[in-house]
Amino acid sequence: MSANRSVRVRMAPSPTGMFHVGSAHTALFNWLFARHHGGVFILRIEDTDRERSTPEAVKTILDGLRWLGLDWDEGPEVGGPHAPYFQSQRRARYQQAAQELLARGLAYRCYTTPEELEQMRAQQRARGIKSPKYDRRHRDLTPQQERAFQAEGRQPVVRFKTPLTGKTGFTDLIRGPIRVDNRELDDFVLLKANGDPTYNFAVVVDDMDMQITHVIRGEDHISNTPKQLLLWRAFGATPPQFAHLPLLLGPDRRKLSKRHGAVNLLDYAAQGYLPEAMFNFLALIGWSPGGGETQEIFRREELVARFRLDQVAKAGAVFDLRKLDAINAVYLRRLSVTELTELCLPYLRRAGLVDETLTPGEREWLEQVMALEQERLKRLEEIVDFTRFFFGEEVEIEERARRQWLTRPGTADLLATLHARLAALTSFTAADIEKVVRGLAEERGLSAAKVIHPTRVAVTGRTVGPGLFELMEVLGQERCSRRLQAAVAVAKGGGLKGGYS
Ligand code: GLU
């Protein structure tokens, strides 16, 4: 890893409402590449779509990047030598760049109206042309013709004079050589009639001004790259290198969409995925450190050290929620109980399980509860469901759990005996409880499981959870006693089905 300030990459999101996990993936790969080379990571906001771009949408992007820990060296809030970093504030620069190409005969004003364009396309389609193109009718207008159109009040767009022959190609750092016939390209628009730049034009002017050395972006932009290369050449500038990342797919290998789950990065934050886990997970989508390793947990610095663009896959970038859960679970287990408690508190408060302020004693008890659940937690939000039975006096017994464990003959008597013995204990630790439960099983000639399961249903209302003896200790003697008693009534058939209060 050598400091190489000459590596300059950028993330150029369009602020249209949310920060998509696909954009986060692109941002992360740019960031890893920049940090690996000691280069510069630039954030540029492509807000030329004035209707859809809002300050809130920009904030969502900044919040998303900050949440993931992707700091930018130039861009909004931090500024930099190539400010402004908002395309909406660079209009004059695009006008000037367009003038330059017009003056050099590399671009032209086109006065074709939207209606005429529509008619042109319809005619081409009628002739069986699948992707109709502008027919270049205004490519070589005389000054008189231009004046005549202007006199009609037509507002021109500025189009690029795409070469009519030859090929344009580049070597993608991930995909290898890509080439297109210039004939397949349109005389694409650079400036719209209202003076707004198009994406392809603004992106080249900005990448040029900001001295971008590597453009790392989604594969959906491959078809734009030849047009952008032609513009770079028209400006007489050396183009950057290009790397097109595979698009994120769902487990069914279709383009990732809401059908597969949340696509908004901050929804994952809300569900209780840790940023370090999301960072780790996203880094391994479409990239692996090679060497046939199966390691999946990487620290941030390790990823920076090992990241290489030529190890990025061309396809198969699957966003697999089960893998994200597994990685997040590892990071959750690594937290101290105090940290975990702190992170879970907002969820517990929102669910009304925990008060705004806690006494030291309450906090200590809560930490014991958290410690019991830490092992099986995959997302912070699960804590509410997992720990609900710890709060309140009574517990609601799930119907399935009741049918499975409280309806067998002898269960009422078994739980009544257990209740009596536990109530008589003068010390109520996990070890004390375990001794009683196992002793009773032995006495009755039952496997320990035959006592443990109905007891778990009695005190938690469900069939799965943390270790029974430990949770009973945390629950406390009184509550266990009350719940066992109530379960005896249910087992006798006297209690309410599926729950009691
Ligand atoms: N605004 C474009 C996007 O969000 C940027 C593409 C590029 O990186 O050139 O897809």
Cβ atoms of 20 and 263 within 8 Å: the answer is yes
Q: pLDDT at residue 169 above 80?
A: yes
Provide the phi-psi class of 69: left if phi over 0, else alpha when psi is between -120 and 50, else beta.
left
Amino acid (one-letter) located at 197: P
Amino acid (one-letter) located at 365: W
Residue with the smallest CA separation from ligand 1 atom 5 is 12
- Same-domain pairing of 151 and 107: yes
The finding on whether 381 has its CB within 6 A of some atom of ligand 1 is no
Residue finishing a domain among 266, 283, 318: 318
What is residue 69's DSSP assignment? T
Cβ atoms of 178 and 165 within 8 Å: the answer is no
Cβ atoms of 1 and 37 within 8 Å: the answer is yes
What is residue 426's DSSP assignment? S
Probe ligand 1: pick from 90, 221, 225, 242, max atoms within 8 Å of CB?
221
CATH code, 236? 3.40.50.620
Q: pLDDT at residue 462 above 60?
A: yes
Mean pLDDT, residues 216-240 taken together: 98
What is residue 232's DSSP assignment? H
CATH code, 441? 1.10.10.350
Q: pLDDT at residue 495 above 80?
A: no
Q: pLDDT at residue 2 above 60?
A: no
The finding on whether 221 has its CB within 6 A of some atom of ligand 1 is yes
Mean pLDDT, residues 143-170 taken together: 98
- Same-domain pairing of 278 and 180: no
Q: pLDDT at residue 150 above 50?
A: yes
The angle formed by the CA atoms of residues 386, 391 and 393, to the nearest 5 degrees, is 130
State the pLDDT at residue 70.
98
- Asked if residue 498 is part of any domain, the answer here is no
- Same-domain pairing of 208 and 105: yes
CA atoms 343, 349, 353, 358: torsion sign: positive
The angle formed by the CA atoms of residues 36, 37 and 43, to the nearest 5 degrees, is 85
Cα of 204 to ligand 1 centre, how many Å?
11
- Same-domain pairing of 18 and 77: yes
Q: Which helix (H) or strand (E) holds 249?
A: strand 248-249
Probe ligand 1: pick from 8, 9, 10, 14, max atoms within 8 Å of CB?
14
Domain count of the fold of the chain: 4
State the pLDDT at residue 498.
42
Q: Which helix (H) or strand (E) holds 477?
A: helix 477-491
The finding on whether 14 has its CB within 6 A of some atom of ligand 1 is yes
- Same-domain pairing of 301 and 412: no
Cα of 61 to ligand 1 centre, how many Å?
13
- Same-domain pairing of 228 and 96: yes
- Same-domain pairing of 97 and 40: no
Residue with the smallest CA separation from ligand 1 atom 4 is 13
State the pLDDT at residue 3.
52
In DSSP notation, 99-139 reads HHHHHTTSEEEE---HHHHHHHHHHHHHTT-SS-----TTT
The finding on whether 16 has its CB within 6 A of some atom of ligand 1 is no
pLDDT tens by residue, 385-425: 999 999 999 999 999 999 999 999 999 999 999 999 999 99
Among 269, 199, 225, 243, smallest CA distance to 21 is for 269
Mean pLDDT, residues 425-437 taken together: 98
Cα of 14 to ligand 1 centre, how many Å?
7
- The Cα 279–Cα 269 span in angstroms is 12
Probe ligand 1: pick from 28, 217, 232, max atoms within 8 Å of CB?
217
- The Cα 390–Cα 400 span in angstroms is 20
- Same-domain pairing of 238 and 257: no
Q: pLDDT at residue 291 above 80?
A: no
Q: What is the average pLDDT score of the chain?
A: 95
State the pLDDT at residue 499.
40
Cα of 215 to ligand 1 centre, how many Å?
10
- Asked if residue 482 is part of any domain, the answer here is yes
Q: pLDDT at residue 225 above 70?
A: yes
- The Cα 475–Cα 451 span in angstroms is 18
pLDDT tens by residue, 231-274: 999 999 999 999 999 999 999 999 999 999 999 999 999 999 99
Residue finishing a domain among 272, 292, 318: 318
CATH code, 341? 1.10.8
- The Cα 156–Cα 478 span in angstroms is 83
pLDDT tens by residue, 344-367: 999 999 999 999 999 999 999 999
Cα of 199 to ligand 1 centre, how many Å?
8
- Same-domain pairing of 255 and 241: no
Write out the residue range of the structural domain in which residue 26 sits.
8-87+249-318
State the pLDDT at residue 497.
45
- Band (494; pLDDT cuts 50, 70, 90): low
Cα of 350 to ligand 1 centre, how many Å?
38
- Asked if residue 499 is part of any domain, the answer here is no
- Same-domain pairing of 471 and 356: no
pLDDT tens by residue, 369-388: 999 999 999 999 999 999 99
Chain-centre distance of CA 55, in angstroms? Answer: 21
State the pLDDT at residue 365.
98
- The Cα 33–Cα 226 span in angstroms is 23
The finding on whether 454 has its CB within 6 A of some atom of ligand 1 is no
The finding on whether 275 has its CB within 6 A of some atom of ligand 1 is no
- Asked if residue 3 is part of any domain, the answer here is no
Compute φ and ψ for 171, nearest 5 degrees: -105, 105
R_g of the chain computed on alpha carbons: 32
Cα of 9 to ligand 1 centre, how many Å?
12
Share of the chain above pLDDT 70, in %: 97
- Same-domain pairing of 106 and 217: yes
- Does residue 258 carry a catalytic annotation? yes
Mean pLDDT, residues 55-68 taken together: 96
The finding on whether 203 has its CB within 6 A of some atom of ligand 1 is yes
Amino acid (one-letter) located at 70: L
In the structure encoding, which two tokens stand for residue 372, read together? 């019991």
Cβ atoms of 214 and 7 within 8 Å: the answer is yes
- Helices then strands, counting H and E runs in the chain, come out as 20, 11
Mean pLDDT, residues 182-210 taken together: 97
The finding on whether 438 has its CB within 6 A of some atom of ligand 1 is no
State pTM to two decimals: 0.93
In DSSP notation, 293-311 reads -------HHHHHHH--GGG
Mean pLDDT, residues 478-483 taken together: 97
**121-130, 277-286, 306-315, 490-499, range with the lowest pLDDT:** 490-499
Residue with the smallest CA separation from ligand 1 atom 3 is 13
- Asked if residue 328 is part of any domain, the answer here is no
State the pLDDT at residue 295.
86
The angle formed by the CA atoms of residues 351, 384 and 423, to the nearest 5 degrees, is 105
- Same-domain pairing of 204 and 118: yes
- Band (17; pLDDT cuts 50, 70, 90): confident
Query: Which member of 258, 435, 492, 497 is catalytic?
Result: 258
Cα of 83 to ligand 1 centre, how many Å?
18
Residue finishing a domain among 245, 270, 293: 245
Among 389, 390, 397, smallest CA distance to 491 is for 397
- The Cα 138–Cα 158 span in angstroms is 10
- The Cα 374–Cα 294 span in angstroms is 25
Probe ligand 1: pick from 44, 46, 200, 206, max atoms within 8 Å of CB?
46
- Asked if residue 325 is part of any domain, the answer here is no
User: Please, what's the b/e burial string for 220-245 (b: 16 or more CB within 10 A of its CB; e: otherwise)?
Assistant: ebbeebbbbbbbeebbeeebbebbbb
